[in-house]
Structure 1
Amino acid sequence: MAVTPSKMLPLQQQAPNFNLLDVSLGKKVSLDNLKGKKGTLIVFMCNHCPFVIHLLEHFISLAEELKPQGIATVAISSNDIESYPQDGPQQMQTLCEEYGISFPYLYDPTQEVAQAYDAACTPDFYLFDDQNKLVYRGRYDASRPQSGKPITGEDLKNAALNLIHKKPISENQFPSMGCNIKWK
């Protein structure tokens, strides 16, 4: 399987707004509607990527842990569904039901949002503060499919907890690794 690293955007960059379909609600939502009191975690993901599947259950638990602490989570799928129909809105909704995903899972049909965030792979994580400034971009943790390393979420979780508790977030961040976004 080919591995694509995330692009390491400059920290403090402003989060681009969006207006995308929430597949569970069946209506469009914007970043302004979804942002958390203390911050917002945006992850570009898809249904079929082995890197996403590898950590999905752990990530869902982390998102649930962060929610009452003021961090909202938003997932976005930007893959070309003509080439990868398993990543389409109906399949996204099915994934939400199967895994009990309670955070919004949005569909980016034009891929403009992925381009605005300069997303490169799935999963690709972006953590923004309460002013929508980028404070973390990078990997979930050091685990990968078949690596033998445990899934901990420590890189992302430490950044989120530091944000919540108003502590400095290390700028020594490592790129996420995963499948490339399937561009049209």
Structure 2
Amino acid sequence: MAAIAPLCDFGWQGVDATLLGVDGRRYSILSQAGNRGLVVAFICNHCPYVRAVIQRIVRDARDLKQLGIGFVAINANDPIAYPSDSYDGMCTFSRKNGLPFPYLHDADQSIARLYNAVCTPDFFGFNAAGKLQYRGRLDGSRKQEASADLRRDLFEAMVEIAETGSGPREQFASVGCSIKWRDK
């Protein structure tokens, strides 16, 4: 069943943590910011929503980097219940899809909880001051193939944030598979 993320809590300060990346190195989330902003994306390996858009995520991350906006992705899914979302699965997924950004493992799910991440994919766009200005979808395609003229919601919002420091007031919630939480 699809989960729908809440919309933007404008001005919320991003939370930092150091997590293990698929290359075996540890990365600070907020240190991935460019001089004009940062996207923090919660994704996973098995979700059909993520799998349908992963190449567009890669494209947007590359294009945003050229504009001074950093990108980092985090997987918080329970790898016991979903073995394909294990750390080894993340390494394979990253290689297969040519991820040009750090893909981090939130092994204890604490960062996903602090961000109030709901689904995969779930995108958080921060301005240069580290304040949240976008929480919404990548684009309107969901799990379908995207038409060539489909508006790039995340990309366009981040361009606006880079230029003005503020995100668009009209935002559309991200829809995807729910985060696979471990039983407490």
Which structure 2 residues correspond to residues 11-30 of structure 1 after superposition, within 5 A? Answer: 11-24=10-23, 26-30=24-28
Partners of 2:166 and 2:42 lie apart in 1 by 25
Partners of 1:124 and 1:99 lie apart in 2 by 18
Q: Displacement, 1:11?
A: 0.8
* Mapped pair 1:47 → 2:83: no
Q: Displacement, 1:149?
A: 5.3
Partners of 1:80 and 1:92 lie apart in 2 by 12
Change (3 A) 1:160 1:110: same
TM-score, L = length of structure 2: 0.93
The AA in structure 2 aligned to 1:16 is: V
Q: Displacement, 1:167?
A: 6.7
Q: Displacement, 1:71?
A: 0.6
Structure 1 stretches of 4+ with a deviation exceeding 4 A read: none
Which structure 2 residues correspond to residues 149-164 of structure 1 after superposition, within 5 A? Answer: 150=147, 152=150, 154-164=152-162
8 Å Cα contact 2:9-2:133 kept in structure 1: no
1:113 alignment counterpart: 111
Matched residue SS, 1:165: helix
2:99 alignment counterpart: 101
CA displacement, residues 48-72 of structure 1 (integer Å, 9 cap, x when unaligned): 0000011110110110111121111
Partners of 2:63 and 2:151 lie apart in 1 by 12
Q: Displacement, 1:36?
A: 1.4
Aligned residues: 181
Partners of 2:81 and 2:64 lie apart in 1 by 34
Identity %: 37
Change (3 A) 1:136 1:32: closer
Q: Displacement, 1:90?
A: 1.2
Change (3 A) 1:153 1:43: farther
CA displacement, residues 44-103 of structure 1 (integer Å, 9 cap, x when unaligned): 000000000111101101101111211111000000000011011111111111111110
Change (3 A) 1:106 1:4: same
Partners of 1:82 and 1:167 lie apart in 2 by 40
Change (3 A) 1:42 1:164: same
2:90 alignment counterpart: 92
Measured on the aligned residues, the alpha-carbon RMSD in Å equals: 1.5
Q: Displacement, 1:27?
A: 2.0
Partners of 1:79 and 1:27 lie apart in 2 by 20
TM-score, L = length of structure 1: 0.93
Matched residue SS, 2:49: helix
Name structure 2 gaps, 5 residues minimum.
none
